[in-house]
Amino acid sequence: MEITWLGTAGFIIKSKEGEIAFDPFLSRGNGQASPFSVKSFENSQAVFVGHGHFDHVYDIPQIASGTEVKIYAPGLTGQILKLRGVPSSRLVEASNKEILFKPFKMRAFHSAHTRFDMPLILSTAKRCGVHGCAHALKLGVSYPKGLVQTYYFEMQGKKFLFVSSAGCTEKELMMYQKLEVDYFLAPLQGHSHIQEIAAKQVSIVKPKVVIPHHHDDFYPPLSQNISVDIFREKLKQMSFAGDVLEIPLFKSAQI
Protein backbone atom coordinates (compact mmCIF):
# COMPACT_ATOMS: atom_id res chain seq x y z
CA MET A 1 0.00 0.00 0.00
CA GLU A 2 1.31 3.45 -0.90
CA ILE A 3 0.37 6.81 0.61
CA THR A 4 1.40 10.04 -1.13
CA TRP A 5 1.20 13.43 0.56
CA LEU A 6 0.18 16.09 -2.00
CA GLY A 7 0.73 19.00 0.42
CA THR A 8 -1.97 20.69 2.58
CA ALA A 9 -4.54 18.01 3.48
CA GLY A 10 -4.13 16.24 0.14
CA PHE A 11 -3.39 12.53 -0.20
CA ILE A 12 -3.52 9.77 -2.80
CA ILE A 13 -3.70 6.30 -1.27
CA LYS A 14 -3.16 3.23 -3.44
CA SER A 15 -3.60 -0.42 -2.63
CA LYS A 16 -4.28 -3.63 -4.55
CA GLU A 17 -7.97 -2.99 -3.90
CA GLY A 18 -8.07 0.45 -5.52
CA GLU A 19 -7.05 4.10 -5.29
CA ILE A 20 -8.62 7.07 -3.54
CA ALA A 21 -7.68 10.66 -2.80
CA PHE A 22 -8.44 13.33 -0.19
CA ASP A 23 -8.62 17.15 -0.41
CA PRO A 24 -6.26 17.70 -3.36
CA PHE A 25 -4.90 21.26 -3.58
CA LEU A 26 -2.37 21.64 -6.38
CA SER A 27 -2.49 25.36 -7.25
CA ARG A 28 -0.52 26.58 -4.20
CA GLY A 29 -0.26 30.27 -5.26
CA ASN A 30 3.28 31.45 -4.44
CA GLY A 31 4.02 28.22 -2.57
CA GLN A 32 6.43 25.55 -3.80
CA ALA A 33 4.97 24.31 -7.11
CA SER A 34 3.21 20.95 -7.01
CA PRO A 35 4.65 18.13 -9.13
CA PHE A 36 1.11 16.69 -9.33
CA SER A 37 -1.47 17.47 -12.00
CA VAL A 38 -4.93 16.35 -13.12
CA LYS A 39 -3.21 13.30 -14.69
CA SER A 40 -2.08 12.19 -11.21
CA PHE A 41 -5.74 11.28 -10.50
CA GLU A 42 -6.47 9.26 -13.65
CA ASN A 43 -6.41 5.99 -11.69
CA SER A 44 -8.27 7.33 -8.64
CA GLN A 45 -11.80 6.05 -8.19
CA ALA A 46 -12.94 8.63 -5.65
CA VAL A 47 -11.92 11.95 -4.10
CA PHE A 48 -13.23 12.62 -0.60
CA VAL A 49 -13.63 16.21 0.59
CA GLY A 50 -13.25 17.11 4.28
CA HIS A 51 -14.64 20.66 4.08
CA GLY A 52 -15.18 23.52 1.64
CA HIS A 53 -12.22 25.86 2.25
CA PHE A 54 -10.24 26.79 -0.89
CA ASP A 55 -7.16 24.80 0.15
CA HIS A 56 -9.29 21.63 0.16
CA VAL A 57 -11.46 22.07 -2.97
CA TYR A 58 -10.05 24.71 -5.34
CA ASP A 59 -8.69 22.28 -7.96
CA ILE A 60 -11.47 19.70 -7.79
CA PRO A 61 -13.52 21.00 -10.79
CA GLN A 62 -10.44 20.71 -13.01
CA ILE A 63 -9.56 17.26 -11.65
CA ALA A 64 -13.16 16.13 -12.25
CA SER A 65 -13.20 17.41 -15.82
CA GLY A 66 -9.95 15.66 -16.74
CA THR A 67 -10.67 12.27 -15.13
CA GLU A 68 -13.47 9.81 -14.36
CA VAL A 69 -13.14 10.25 -10.61
CA LYS A 70 -16.23 10.54 -8.35
CA ILE A 71 -16.28 13.42 -5.87
CA TYR A 72 -17.68 12.74 -2.39
CA ALA A 73 -18.43 16.04 -0.66
CA PRO A 74 -20.60 17.18 2.26
CA GLY A 75 -23.86 19.14 1.48
CA LEU A 76 -23.05 22.80 0.82
CA THR A 77 -19.55 22.02 -0.47
CA GLY A 78 -21.07 19.62 -3.02
CA GLN A 79 -23.52 22.34 -4.15
CA ILE A 80 -20.69 24.86 -4.55
CA LEU A 81 -18.59 22.36 -6.50
CA LYS A 82 -21.57 21.87 -8.80
CA LEU A 83 -21.77 25.64 -9.37
CA ARG A 84 -18.05 25.56 -10.13
CA GLY A 85 -18.58 23.03 -12.89
CA VAL A 86 -18.48 19.53 -11.40
CA PRO A 87 -21.29 17.58 -13.16
CA SER A 88 -24.03 16.20 -10.85
CA SER A 89 -23.37 12.72 -12.24
CA ARG A 90 -19.89 12.82 -10.69
CA LEU A 91 -20.90 14.23 -7.31
CA VAL A 92 -21.89 12.05 -4.37
CA GLU A 93 -23.30 13.45 -1.13
CA ALA A 94 -20.88 12.40 1.61
CA SER A 95 -23.64 11.40 4.01
CA ASN A 96 -22.66 10.12 7.43
CA LYS A 97 -25.55 7.66 7.51
CA GLU A 98 -24.21 5.00 5.19
CA ILE A 99 -21.10 3.27 3.87
CA LEU A 100 -19.94 5.66 1.12
CA PHE A 101 -17.47 3.55 -0.80
CA LYS A 102 -17.89 -0.16 -0.21
CA PRO A 103 -14.42 -1.47 -1.26
CA PHE A 104 -12.90 0.52 1.62
CA LYS A 105 -15.87 0.53 4.04
CA MET A 106 -15.62 4.35 3.88
CA ARG A 107 -17.67 6.27 6.43
CA ALA A 108 -17.97 10.00 7.13
CA PHE A 109 -18.44 11.48 10.59
CA HIS A 110 -19.61 14.96 11.57
CA SER A 111 -16.56 16.87 12.72
CA ALA A 112 -15.56 20.50 13.30
CA HIS A 113 -13.01 23.07 12.17
CA THR A 114 -10.24 24.48 14.38
CA ARG A 115 -11.07 27.94 15.70
CA PHE A 116 -8.43 30.36 14.44
CA ASP A 117 -7.08 32.03 17.61
CA MET A 118 -6.24 35.73 17.94
CA PRO A 119 -2.40 35.38 17.97
CA LEU A 120 -2.65 33.35 14.72
CA ILE A 121 -5.04 35.85 13.11
CA LEU A 122 -2.78 38.79 14.04
CA SER A 123 0.47 37.16 12.86
CA THR A 124 -1.21 36.06 9.61
CA ALA A 125 -2.61 39.59 9.02
CA LYS A 126 0.87 41.04 9.60
CA ARG A 127 2.41 38.68 7.03
CA CYS A 128 -0.35 39.27 4.47
CA GLY A 129 -0.66 43.07 4.66
CA VAL A 130 -3.79 44.91 3.49
CA HIS A 131 -3.80 43.47 -0.02
CA GLY A 132 -3.22 39.91 1.20
CA CYS A 133 -5.93 40.23 3.87
CA ALA A 134 -8.46 41.40 1.27
CA HIS A 135 -7.53 38.41 -0.92
CA ALA A 136 -7.87 36.00 2.04
CA LEU A 137 -11.28 37.47 2.87
CA LYS A 138 -12.41 36.95 -0.72
CA LEU A 139 -11.26 33.32 -0.63
CA GLY A 140 -13.14 32.87 2.64
CA VAL A 141 -16.38 34.17 1.10
CA SER A 142 -16.00 32.23 -2.17
CA TYR A 143 -15.11 28.96 -0.42
CA PRO A 144 -17.16 28.64 2.80
CA LYS A 145 -16.17 25.71 5.00
CA GLY A 146 -19.67 24.17 5.10
CA LEU A 147 -20.00 20.92 6.97
CA VAL A 148 -16.68 19.51 8.21
CA GLN A 149 -16.29 15.75 7.98
CA THR A 150 -13.80 13.18 9.13
CA TYR A 151 -13.43 9.97 7.13
CA TYR A 152 -12.80 6.45 8.39
CA PHE A 153 -11.86 3.64 6.02
CA GLU A 154 -10.18 0.25 5.83
CA MET A 155 -7.58 -0.88 3.29
CA GLN A 156 -5.83 -4.27 3.29
CA GLY A 157 -7.00 -4.90 6.83
CA LYS A 158 -5.63 -1.57 8.15
CA LYS A 159 -7.88 1.11 9.65
CA PHE A 160 -7.43 4.77 8.69
CA LEU A 161 -8.81 8.03 10.01
CA PHE A 162 -8.51 11.16 7.85
CA VAL A 163 -9.13 14.45 9.67
CA SER A 164 -9.27 17.61 7.51
CA SER A 165 -9.23 20.16 10.36
CA ALA A 166 -8.31 19.63 14.00
CA GLY A 167 -11.59 20.75 15.60
CA CYS A 168 -12.83 17.31 16.76
CA THR A 169 -14.75 17.27 20.04
CA GLU A 170 -13.72 15.01 22.91
CA LYS A 171 -16.84 12.89 22.42
CA GLU A 172 -15.98 12.42 18.77
CA LEU A 173 -12.37 11.47 19.64
CA MET A 174 -13.57 8.86 22.16
CA MET A 175 -15.68 7.33 19.41
CA TYR A 176 -12.62 7.17 17.12
CA GLN A 177 -10.66 5.52 19.94
CA LYS A 178 -13.16 2.65 19.89
CA LEU A 179 -12.51 2.13 16.18
CA GLU A 180 -8.90 1.05 17.03
CA VAL A 181 -7.33 3.10 14.27
CA ASP A 182 -3.98 2.04 12.78
CA TYR A 183 -3.18 5.26 10.86
CA PHE A 184 -4.38 8.70 11.97
CA LEU A 185 -3.89 11.43 9.32
CA ALA A 186 -3.67 14.50 11.58
CA PRO A 187 -3.78 18.12 10.31
CA LEU A 188 -1.28 20.61 11.80
CA GLN A 189 -2.77 23.98 10.82
CA GLY A 190 -5.19 26.64 12.04
CA HIS A 191 -4.07 27.56 15.59
CA SER A 192 -0.93 29.03 17.18
CA HIS A 193 -0.78 25.96 19.48
CA ILE A 194 -1.83 23.44 16.84
CA GLN A 195 0.89 20.91 17.75
CA GLU A 196 -0.42 20.67 21.30
CA ILE A 197 -4.05 20.47 20.13
CA ALA A 198 -3.27 17.75 17.57
CA ALA A 199 -1.09 15.80 20.04
CA LYS A 200 -3.94 15.80 22.56
CA GLN A 201 -6.31 14.44 19.91
CA VAL A 202 -3.82 11.73 18.91
CA SER A 203 -3.29 10.75 22.54
CA ILE A 204 -7.06 10.22 22.92
CA VAL A 205 -7.55 8.25 19.67
CA LYS A 206 -4.39 6.15 20.35
CA PRO A 207 -3.58 5.10 16.76
CA LYS A 208 -0.60 2.86 16.04
CA VAL A 209 0.82 5.51 13.70
CA VAL A 210 0.14 9.22 13.23
CA ILE A 211 0.82 10.84 9.85
CA PRO A 212 0.96 14.65 10.15
CA HIS A 213 -0.24 16.78 7.21
CA HIS A 214 -1.24 20.38 6.32
CA HIS A 215 1.98 21.68 7.99
CA ASP A 216 3.56 22.89 4.73
CA ASP A 217 3.68 26.49 3.50
CA PHE A 218 0.91 25.74 0.97
CA TYR A 219 -0.21 29.29 0.08
CA PRO A 220 2.18 31.98 1.35
CA PRO A 221 1.90 34.51 2.83
CA LEU A 222 -1.46 33.22 4.15
CA SER A 223 0.22 29.98 5.29
CA GLN A 224 3.49 29.15 7.04
CA ASN A 225 5.48 26.02 7.83
CA ILE A 226 4.47 24.33 11.08
CA SER A 227 7.13 22.42 13.03
CA VAL A 228 6.60 18.66 13.16
CA ASP A 229 9.44 18.44 15.73
CA ILE A 230 7.31 20.40 18.22
CA PHE A 231 4.42 18.01 17.46
CA ARG A 232 6.73 15.05 18.24
CA GLU A 233 7.77 16.72 21.53
CA LYS A 234 4.14 17.27 22.54
CA LEU A 235 3.29 13.66 21.71
CA LYS A 236 6.18 12.51 23.89
CA GLN A 237 4.99 14.73 26.76
CA MET A 238 1.56 13.12 26.45
CA SER A 239 3.18 9.64 26.52
CA PHE A 240 1.93 8.69 23.04
CA ALA A 241 3.09 5.12 22.50
CA GLY A 242 2.68 4.96 18.70
CA ASP A 243 4.94 6.06 15.85
CA VAL A 244 5.07 9.30 13.87
CA LEU A 245 5.36 8.80 10.12
CA GLU A 246 6.45 12.10 8.60
CA ILE A 247 6.07 11.92 4.82
CA PRO A 248 8.19 14.64 3.13
CA LEU A 249 6.26 17.12 1.00
CA PHE A 250 5.13 15.61 -2.34
CA LYS A 251 6.63 12.20 -1.40
CA SER A 252 5.21 8.72 -0.84
CA ALA A 253 5.56 6.14 1.89
CA GLN A 254 4.98 2.39 1.64
CA ILE A 255 2.90 1.23 4.55
Provide the binding-site residues for Zn ion, judged by CB under 5 A.
53, 165
Cα 66 to the center of its chain, rounded Å: 22
Query: Which helix H or strand E contains 80, and what residues bound it?
Result: helix 75-83
What's the closest the beta carbon of residue 26 comes to Zn ion, in angstroms? 17
For Zn ion, the closer CB: 40 or 111: 111
178 CB-near residues (< 8 Å, 6+ apart): none
Q: Which is nearer to Zn ion, 147 or 155 (CB)?
A: 147
Q: Which residues pair with 14 in a beta bridge?
A: 2, 19
**Cα 101 from Cα 98, distance rounded (Å):** 9
Which strands sit side by side in the sheet containing 209-213, from one edge to the other?
Answer: 107-110, 149-155, 158-162, 183-187, 209-213, 243-244
CB of 214 to Zn ion, least distance (A): 9
For the CB of residue 242, give the shortest distance to Zn ion in the complex, in Å: 25
Closest approach, Cβ 222 to Zn ion, in A, equals: 11
Q: Which residue is nearest to Zn ion (CB)?
A: 53
Measured from the CB atom, is 53 or 213 closer to Zn ion?
53
* Cβ nearer to Zn ion, comparing 149 with 165: 165
